[in-house]
Structure 1
Amino acid sequence: MNKKLALWSITVGLGGFLFGLDVAVISGAEQAIQKLWNLTDWMHGTAIAMALYGTAFGAALGNIPANKIGRKKTLIWIGILFFITSIGAAVSTNVMVFMVFRFVSGLSIGASSVVAPVYISEIAPPKFRGRMVISFQLNVVAGILIAYFSNYLLQGVGGSNDWRWMLGVVAIPSLVFSLLMLVTPETPRWLVLFKHDDAEAKRVLELTGEDATKVIADIKASVSNGKHTESLFNKKFLRPLLLAFLIAFFNQLSGINAIIYFAPKVFQMAGIERSGALLSTIGIGVINLMFTIFGWYLIDRFGRRVLMYIGSIGYIFSLTMIAVSFNGTDHS
């Protein structure tokens, strides 16, 4: 892999880092927010979950600007939205304003989860594509770890307003991401299929060290052949599509997001004081990152299916133990 391709991959990978950072950073702020605005449990949960609602819409709609204005420009705007919403949430004066900014932040999270992997897969040569796309997930879990670490370091900064610093810190990598995206190229596939600019696509491909003429011909051929192939929603594809959907669906439904969002509170409910609870969340982030790297290493050695079984069993055991540990216990 040449240096330019590595730099572009690292840059776009920051989109995954922002994803993880923005998702987890709320964990250090949520209790202060509930206390500040005297929120009921229902309103508190709704306010904290607003980013998730936005994420669903962002993931569903992210391909629209990506196709219309390009992957590069869409990612630049995603970084700008991360910057604006992190500052906006940090300086919010009431819960409604906070919820609006968190919802828009969720749009950025959802869109980045779609557009960044697409960019990476379209800019990378086939022999590097798998590893580079997986690097997006590594950046997500790295972002979660840094969010927990940042929350721990920022506790007490600004007194009772330390939560504002925790949320606002996302603005720094967001700005860096947008600035770095300015010097990355558009993907050859988008240039050929949507902008019809073969010359620029050829220039980008030459920088990656690929046979530009062949790749451009392959891109055009894939579209031409696609007009004569079976629909993705053909009955024979229904089962694998459904399985792929359910894997992602149950991953979210499992309850892991509750742990990520409320980890410090869970530790405090277990009897650990706030500083220790924030420190303990770093352990979650470290283990998350370690086993993501471990899975990356094992995926081609044991296969996807075996790792899915192992991960599912681990999920069932750990979440069951968490549920059992809180069952019938008064944590008020």
Structure 2
Amino acid sequence: MSKKLILIAFVVSLGGFLFGFDAGIISGVMNYAGPEFNLSDIQSGWVVSSPSFAAMIAMIFSGRLSDVVGRKKILIVVAFLYAISALFSAYATSYEMLYIARMIGGLAFGAALVLAPTYIAEISTADNRGKLVSIQQLNIVLGFFAAFLSNYYFNKYNTSGDSFFTDENVWRWMLGVELIPAILYFIFLFFIPRSPRWLFTKFRNEEAKQVLVSVYGEVKAEQETNSILNSLEGTTTKSEDKVKLKDLFKPALRFVLIVGLIVGVLQQITGINAVYFYATSIFKQTGIGTDAAFASGILLSSITVIFTFVAMYLIDRMGRRPLLLIGTAGIAISLLLCAYGFKQATYQLTSQSITELQFEGADKLSAFTDKVYENDVDFKNDMKSALGNQIYSKNDGAILESATSINATLVLIGVLGFIACFAFSLGPVMWVLLSELFPNKYRGFAIGVIAFVNSFISWVVQLIFPWELSNFGNALTFFIFGAIACIGFFVMLKILPETKGKSLEQIERELVTN
């Protein structure tokens, strides 16, 4: 595998880094922006999830649009939108301006998550495709790591008494720093070639061959050219360039569409983006305190990076099916462990702990002195009724730290186990599998449709997660995610194919019936 090919894949998937950075950053931002704008649970959920809502629009159109004008041109627009989103988010003066700015970023990462694996699959070969497409997921988790690290230091300097950072401006710096990688992404994209397989579908054969030669050399390029042209022969004509939604429901594509949809839904419905986007809030629920919650985010993202490397090492050795099955089983066990840990928690404020709370109005909690709560929902409702939503939201970390009796280690193991299992299975493998299942003619559009469904599920999960925590409680929320993962494991056990070591054209012959 040439260094040039790795570099191209890394540059193209920098959009994934920006997605991960945005997702990680918002978990810290909402600790400050939420109280500042006095947001309700649904409003907080909308600020967090609005990019995923916008991403649905981008995902359904970006694949098809890239089939017409090319992957590279759309990716350049994506980088520009990322930069605009970062700038406007940092200067948001209202709840409405904040979520609109984040929706602009959502258009960007919706398109990037579709086009990056599509482009990488189209420029790679069977023996290196798994690793190269996994670079997308690696960039996503590196983005998470950078975001949690950034959040930790911004929070640290804000709470250290440094007069430059305050609760009112620190979240703006958290969001604005995303502008730097967005500009770099925009510049780097001008130096990558067009997708060779896309060029062949547009009958620009000589240009496509030049790209393959520059990446692989004469001999390998000739082999890839023959394979691609044989696959396209008789299927791509000027009149057939436009793929319609109904084409995906042809009997020939039915099996691969079902597999793609199931894996695409399962990746999000198990709650991964709820954990990522609300990581700081989740860790605060264990009563470890706000500072420790920010620090735990770094540990979470570090585990993600490590196990993404594990996935990249194993995906072309073990195959897609074993990684997905083992990972999904681990996800189910980890989520149920979290549910058990939260179920055992109790909450009690003593007169001493109330005295130690350092915020105005803490004395109002004295009415609940020594009252023992068996679940977090009743406890938080009483705290909000006494303090009001805005004051409670601003100080929930300190209150939970004072009142919570829980095996925090058990919950931490469950969360980290979930993240680790996701990072070597559903995270990277889904995008690899989607980039392989569909024929050249349908690939961009089909991945866009499945990514739309994937993003819709992600949006719903993120939107209602704060509401679930407030109304269902931590234990039941994680139990639901765990139960869904169990069902998903048995469904995939029955239907999931293996695509390891096969060319895109060979996979088409085996899985797409005529």
Normalised TM-score (structure 2): 0.60
Match status 1:304 vs 2:317: no
1:80 Cα shift?
0.8
CA 308–4 in structure 1, closer or farther in 2 if over 3 Å, else same = closer
After superposing on structure 2, the runs of 4+ consecutive aligned residues of structure 1 that deviate more than 6 Å are: none
Select 1:164's aligned residue among 157, 169, 172: 172
Select 2:189's aligned residue among 181, 197, 214: 181
Matched to 1:182, the amino acid is F
CA 55–324 in structure 1, closer or farther in 2 if over 3 Å, else same = farther
Q: Distance in 2 between matches of 1:171 and 1:187?
A: 27
CA RMSD of aligned residues (A): 2.3
The structure with the largest alpha-carbon Rg is 2
1:201 Cα shift?
2.3
Matched to 2:118, the amino acid is V
After the TM superposition, which residues 232-251 of structure 1 pair with which residues of structure 2 at under 5 Å, given as runs?
233-235=249-251, 238-251=254-267
CA deviations 1:195-239 (Å, max 9, x no partner) are x433332322221134455544543332224369xx764447534
Unpaired runs of at least 5, structure 2: 159-163, 238-246, 344-374, 384-514
Q: Distance in 2 between matches of 1:36 and 1:107?
A: 26
After the TM superposition, which residues 233-272 of structure 1 pair with which residues of structure 2 at under 5 Å, given as runs?
233-235=249-251, 238-272=254-288
**2:116 match:** 116
Q: Distance in 2 between matches of 1:324 and 1:49?
A: 27
After the TM superposition, which residues 278-297 of structure 1 pair with which residues of structure 2 at under 5 Å, given as runs?
278-297=294-313
**1:4 match:** 4
1:127 Cα shift?
3.1
Q: Distance in 1 between matches of 2:317 and 2:64?
A: 37
1:148 Cα shift?
0.9
Match status 1:222 vs 2:231: yes
1:78 Cα shift?
0.7
Unpaired runs of at least 5, structure 1: none
CA 92–132 in structure 1, closer or farther in 2 if over 3 Å, else same = same
**2:508 match:** none
CA 233–88 in structure 1, closer or farther in 2 if over 3 Å, else same = same
**1:145 match:** 145
CA 271–208 in structure 1, closer or farther in 2 if over 3 Å, else same = same
CA deviations 1:150-176 (Å, max 9, x no partner) are 111222263221111111111111111
C-alpha contact 1:81 1:104 (8 A) present in aligned 2: yes
Match status 1:205 vs 2:212: yes
Partner SS state of residue 323, structure 2: helix
1:179 Cα shift?
0.3
Deviates more, 1:10-19 or 1:304-313: 304-313
CA 10–89 in structure 1, closer or farther in 2 if over 3 Å, else same = same
C-alpha contact 1:51 1:105 (8 A) present in aligned 2: yes
CA 187–244 in structure 1, closer or farther in 2 if over 3 Å, else same = closer
Q: Distance in 1 between matches of 2:206 and 2:96?
A: 49
Deviates more, 1:113-122 or 1:286-295: 286-295
C-alpha contact 2:145 2:302 (8 A) present in aligned 1: yes
Matched to 1:241, the amino acid is L
Q: Distance in 1 between matches of 2:264 and 2:139?
A: 18
Partner SS state of residue 194, structure 2: coil
Q: Distance in 1 between matches of 2:224 and 2:326?
A: 38
Q: Distance in 1 between matches of 2:64 and 2:253?
A: 25
1:189 Cα shift?
2.1
Matched to 1:266, the amino acid is I
CA deviations 1:284-312 (Å, max 9, x no partner) are 11112222222332334443333223212
Q: Distance in 1 between matches of 2:249 and 2:236?
A: 14
Q: Distance in 1 between matches of 2:252 and 2:201?
A: 28
CA 326–140 in structure 1, closer or farther in 2 if over 3 Å, else same = same
C-alpha contact 2:12 2:116 (8 A) present in aligned 1: yes
C-alpha contact 1:120 1:129 (8 A) present in aligned 2: yes
Partner SS state of residue 101, structure 1: helix
Partner SS state of residue 39, structure 1: coil
1:84 Cα shift?
0.7
1:26 Cα shift?
0.7
**2:201 match:** 193
1:142 Cα shift?
1.6
Q: Distance in 2 between matches of 1:265 and 1:316?
A: 21
Q: Distance in 2 between matches of 1:292 and 1:3?
A: 20
C-alpha contact 1:76 1:181 (8 A) present in aligned 2: yes
Q: Distance in 1 between matches of 2:92 and 2:264?
A: 33
**1:42 match:** 42
CA 198–301 in structure 1, closer or farther in 2 if over 3 Å, else same = closer
Deviates more, 1:126-135 or 1:69-78: 126-135
C-alpha contact 1:20 1:143 (8 A) present in aligned 2: yes
C-alpha contact 2:66 2:74 (8 A) present in aligned 1: yes
Q: Distance in 2 between matches of 1:115 and 1:244?
A: 16
Q: Distance in 2 between matches of 1:311 and 1:240?
A: 21
Q: Distance in 1 between matches of 2:119 and 2:125?
A: 12
Q: Distance in 1 between matches of 2:229 and 2:37?
A: 56
